[in-house]
Structure 1
Amino acid sequence: MGPEEEAQFSVYVTARRDRVRRTAYLLCGDWHRADDLTQIAFVKLYGAWSGIRDYGALDGFVRRCLMRAAVDESRRPWRREHTVDDLPDTPAPTLDLASVVADRQLVRTALDEVPPGQRAMLVLRFFDGLDVAATAAAMECSEGNVKSQTARGLAAMKQALIRQGAVSAEGGRP
């Protein structure tokens, strides 16, 4: 990027920084995260600056970068951690690794018995963490189809777990 382009970028960022930061705050509800999101959006804009043809569409580009950054950041594992005022008095139960591996194998075997289309819906919804709309977009189908295929897939998986003896017909462990 040349000096003229750098100057144009600097003028744009200076003019829009506060507005973009406020929008980021409305997305995440935390000023520190809003600063991070704003920085991510402007870094992406800087990388794309030399290829921009329509400077009138910059606000839309930055807004789209901001929305994507907010979604990406919300999926990060450390964003799911929350602080608490009081620590629990009792220690957490120890993890029995053998039972976790056994449970994982039961779920994997049951998932193999689910039809492929329903399995894809279950993986996108519950493993990848996509919502109904994002799953519909990824699978190029309607949201209603995602909901019905997910419900059928869960029912098929439950039946497979019942056949394996992992759960009772009522849904609890035998």
Structure 2
Amino acid sequence: MPDGPVGTASHDEFRDFVAARRPTLLRAALLLTADRTEAEDLLQAALARTYLAWDRIKDRSALDGYVRRAMVNINISWWRRRRLDEYPTDEMPDTPVADHTGRSELRDALDRLLGRLPARQRAYVELRYFDDLTEAEIAQALGVSVGTVKSTVSRAMAKLREDAEEELATLD
């Protein structure tokens, strides 16, 4: 007899999936929201949706994609809802409003620096640091050697450091 939307075996499989993939999926949620608390809420909502659809998802290799798509859809819904709930006013708030410009400037700088990388290097860096794949997993996924992955990521990180130093020098 199933306990809830999925059976016991499926429940255990879902729990194992969440335990293994949560850190990576949380990073993806952070990229969508730029706020840790919102990212955790977003991931929780997407995992709840995934849990309800667990027995209907036949291709287990597509689970990450399913959860990521759910996060994007939920985030869009939340964004639309927030947009409707915020109204301009002539009065200033009594409490100070947090200034997130430094965080967004840092994010913009990172996006610019990544955009300067050649497509191949950018892809390797994103797979390694944003998707949190190991060098062996990247090599297997792209059909290259581990040495190729290591050297490409190393060159990309060196270029990012060099470009970041140049960008910092222009700010001084």
> What TM-score bracket applies, with the shorter chain setting the length?
0.3 to 0.5
Q: TM-score, normalised by structure 1?
A: 0.45
Name which one, 1 or 2, has greater alpha-carbon Rg: 1
Larger RCO (CA within 8 A; separation ≥ 6): 2
Q: Could you tell me the TM-score, scaled by structure 2's length? A: 0.46
